[in-house]
Amino acid sequence: MLFPLPGGFRGNIFSLLYGLLPRFFLFLSGLLLCMTLPGPARGAAPAVHVSVEGIEGDLRENVLGYLGIEQHKKDADLSEEDVHRMYEKAPEEIRHALQPFGFYKPDIASELSLKEGEWRASFKIDTGPAVRIRTIDITTAGPGSGDARLERLREDFPVKEGQVLHHETYEKAKRMLQETATERGYLDAEFLEHQVVVHLEEYYASVELRLNTGPLYYFGEVTFRQEALRPEFLARFVPFRQGDPYRISALLDLQSALYESDYFSQVEVRPRRDLAEDRVIPVEVILDPRKRQKYLFGIGYGTDTGVRGVLGWENRRVNRRGHKFSVELSLSEIRGSLTSRYTIPMKHPVTDHFDLSAGFSQDRTQTSRSSTRLLGASYTQVRGKWRETFYLNFQQEKFTIGNESGDSTLLLPGTNWVRVRADNRINTTNGSRLILDLRGAHTALVSDTSFVQARINAKVIRSLGSIGRIILRGDAGTTQVKDFSRLPPSQRFFTGGDQSVRGYAYNSLGPEDAEGEVTGGKHLLVGSVEYEQHIMKKWSAAVFFDAGNALNRLSGALQQGAGFGVRWRSPVGPVRVDMAWALSKPDTPWRIHITIGPDL
């Protein structure tokens, strides 16, 4: 509601405002001018430089991490009082930083000065003697107190009497003890006591750990959430039975086996402790199937084979029982093959399988030509550390070798054992591979000739420090046969080439006929020694010496080759480029050998 003013009073107000208006604008202009003018310059705070002497490595890093004056030295508003306050706190911070490494009585000399506009804080540290552990008392209580793994760890505890007290090592060892109990199925394991007491007067430490394992848990039912394969087939992957003691490692083995099966793109193993009853834990496995169809394409090069390529197709799940079917076409300058394979997983699906195969191949090497049709059946299983295969092949081979031509029909039963141990099979630092093969045929069983053949192939790689490695390789075989001329090229021994005696062409070494054509031998002897030296990053250089031959008499001469090469470590294995000289040939000709592939 507005109240009107009397006329005279209203006029006086207007006159007053009119007189004050110029002064008001003058005041406002001055205020705006003051706001836009820069204020008096403020001097920048002096920089702070911190130096720590007398210690190196982790000790020095830890001290710098504790020092407040180091952490705040770049603060823009750091005052003189702040610098002095942080400097005075620094000795105590240094003492705390040294204690995790066992140094409880350091001698610290410090100095603070202001020179040339810069604060300089220097600390000279003498750590003094380290505290050593005099007594360790580790006990386990509860149902798991007699567990063999826990007892071994307790007896071989990483922290030992006489060692320097290192708190990080102690914490890791303590966690290891509890995690081992958990892995062994004692999921409620906890420390009733865990302490490190430092006796400063006598200057020693004592460690006391008392672990209560709690009760043992057990595996319950395993259920699979998926629709691709039968549950009873998937149950073969489970490495434990219902009622077995709970083991985290067994769950990891289950997850790894399902991944390696190539049936699934995602595998999630979930122990349902929330559903446990009477310490029995059910396990739920959630699976995401891979696409049923798998395609393969690859191309490469080797001096033995020339340009080579492979084209393949696989049906990962022919049915809900996990059967697989594959077809592969392989082509190179010396060989072409088409092979089909039907695989039936057995009791342990990842390692054990029964295979039916059929194929056709044509070979055209410097020494022979052949075309082969093959039907085969094999059973592969793992026995201890060996992969064992029993096979039965029926093959018909038409061949020309030297001046000889023939047709061969063989029913070949055989067995094969393979053992590989390596830190990394692609790029190996330390490892070995051993292959044993035994086969034969007899005229009483379809075959048109009788023979028995054995072969052993070995390769050993050992590191020499951190910059070199030595590679030893050997290959030996022998054949017992009455009529050698009836053996097709696939059952004869040849040598020479990238993976044999370098400096010679592929399969160019062996007994010769009257015209000097290599016809293959009954026996095989090959040996190689190679030293590889790391140069930089993924590159290394190598020198090598090879010797070997295919022979009809074991007393025959061995051909020698030697040379040098370079190596580049790729994701699929080393790329090897070698220059080798055929030492046993007149004028010692040389060849370049190029190979790509894993070490073992």
pLDDT given for residue 220 in this prediction: 96
Q: Comparing 40 with 452, which gets the higher pLDDT?
A: 452
Q: How confident is the model at residue 301 (pLDDT cuts 50, 70, 90)?
A: confident
Chain position carrying tokens 């396990």: 283
The alpha helices in 47-185, defined as continuous H runs, are: 57-66, 68-71, 80-98, 148-155, 167-183
Residue 40 has pLDDT above 90, yes or no: no
> Which of 555, 560, 596 is CA-nearest to residue 578?
596
Spell out the domains of the chain, with CATH numbers in brackets. Answer: 48-126 (3.10.20.310), 133-212 (3.10.20.310), 218-289 (3.10.20.310), 293-596 (2.40.160.50)
The alpha helices in 194-335, defined as continuous H runs, are: 231-234, 248-260
The overall longest dimension of the chain from CA atoms, in Å, is: 147
Q: What number is the average pLDDT over the span 250-266?
A: 95
The alpha helices in 319-380, defined as continuous H runs, are: none
pLDDT given for residue 211 in this prediction: 94
Contact between 135 and 209 under an 8 Å Cβ cutoff? The reply is no
pLDDT given for residue 5 in this prediction: 34
pLDDT given for residue 117 in this prediction: 84
Name 5's Cβ contacts closer than 8 Å, sequence gap at least 6. 13
Q: Comparing 555 with 279, which gets the higher pLDDT?
A: 279
Neighbours of 159 (CB within 10 A): 19
Q: What number is the average pLDDT over the span 342-348?
A: 96
pLDDT given for residue 44 in this prediction: 59
The DSSP code sequence of 62-74 is HHHHH-HHHHTTT
Residue 33 has pLDDT above 60, yes or no: no
Count of H-run helices and E-run strands, the chain: 8, 25
Q: What is the CA radius of gyration of the chain?
A: 40
pLDDT given for residue 402 in this prediction: 84
Residue 35 has pLDDT above 80, yes or no: no
pLDDT given for residue 300 in this prediction: 85
pLDDT given for residue 76 in this prediction: 79
Contact between 464 and 470 under an 8 Å Cβ cutoff? The reply is yes
Chain position carrying tokens 């300058």: 333
Q: Read off the pLDDT of residues 470-505 as tens digits, 9 standing for 90 and up.
A: 999 999 999 999 999 999 999 999 999 999 999 999
Q: In the chain, pLDDT over 90 holds for what percent of residues? A: 82
How far is it, in rounded angstroms, from Cα 89 to Cα 242? Answer: 61
Residue 32 has pLDDT above 90, yes or no: no
Contact between 213 and 272 under an 8 Å Cβ cutoff? The reply is no
Q: Read off the pLDDT of residues 213-226 as tens digits, 9 standing for 90 and up.
A: 999 999 999 999 99
By DSSP bridging, strand 293-302 and strand 306-315 are antiparallel
Partners of residue 540 on adjacent β-strands: 534, 567
The alpha helices in 271-338, defined as continuous H runs, are: none
pLDDT given for residue 170 in this prediction: 94
By DSSP bridging, strand 204-212 and strand 133-141 are parallel
State both tokens at 595: 């190979």
Q: What number is the average pLDDT over the span 347-356?
A: 95
Helix (H) or strand (E) holding 279: none
Q: Read off the pLDDT of residues 13-23 as tens digits, 9 standing for 90 and up.
A: 334 334 444 45
188's torsion region: left (phi>0), alpha (psi -120 to 50) or beta? alpha
Residue 383 has pLDDT above 70, yes or no: yes
* HEC letters along 382-420: EECCEEEEEEEEEEEEEEEECCEEEEEEEEEEEEEEEEE
Q: What number is the average pLDDT over the span 74-96?
A: 91
Distances (CA, A) of 69 to 52, 64, 90, 105, 165: 12, 9, 7, 22, 28
pLDDT given for residue 31 in this prediction: 44
How far is it, in rounded angstroms, from Cα 433 to Cα 421? Answer: 7
Residue 181 has pLDDT above 70, yes or no: yes
Q: What number is the average pLDDT over the span 234-261?
A: 95
Neighbours of 90 (CB within 10 A): 22
The sign of the torsion formed by the CA atoms of 76, 82, 87, 92 equals: negative
Q: Comparing 74 with 36, which gets the higher pLDDT?
A: 74
Q: How confident is the model at residue 4 (pLDDT cuts 50, 70, 90)?
A: very low
State both tokens at 245: 């003691």
What do you get for the CA distance between the two ends of the chain, in Å?
Answer: 100
State both tokens at 347: 């009791």
Q: What number is the average pLDDT over the span 43-56?
A: 85
Summary mean pLDDT of the chain: 90
Contact between 563 and 579 under an 8 Å Cβ cutoff? The reply is yes
pTM of the model: 0.77
Q: What number is the average pLDDT over the span 271-289?
A: 96
Q: How confident is the model at residue 3 (pLDDT cuts 50, 70, 90)?
A: very low
HSE of 398, CA atoms in CB hemisphere, 13 A: 5
How far is it, in rounded angstroms, from Cα 210 to Cα 189? Answer: 11
